[in-house]
Amino acid sequence: MWLRGLPGLVICALGVVWLLQGIDVLHGSGMTGHHQYAVLGAVAIVLGAALLVWAERARRRRASAAGS
């Protein structure tokens, strides 16, 4: 079910934006150039990726259980 992966995808996308703002690549925000946002962005990317992996594993388990 794709709804399980949606939070992971959103968190990854936000993490990328925060990371890019923190390392001063994206401009126009109060977060621009503040390195703590780069760290928070990296943490968000890792968390989002973990949620995506969890969702994919749950989907595969469900598919293999249905096929048995």
The reported pLDDT for the residue numbered 68 is: 63
Give backbone dihedrals phi and psi of 26, rounded to 5 degrees, phi first: -95, 130
pTM of the entire predicted model: 0.84
- Look at residue 63 in the predicted model and tell me its pLDDT: 81
Q: Where are the chain's structural domains?
A: 2-67
Structure token pair of residue 3: 């709804």
Q: How far is CA 21 from CA 9, 41, 48, 64, 66, in A?
A: 19, 9, 18, 41, 44
Q: What is the pLDDT along the chain (68 residues), one digit of tens a residue?
A: 577 789 999 999 999 999 999 999 988 888 888 899 999 999 999 999 999 999 999 888 888 888 76
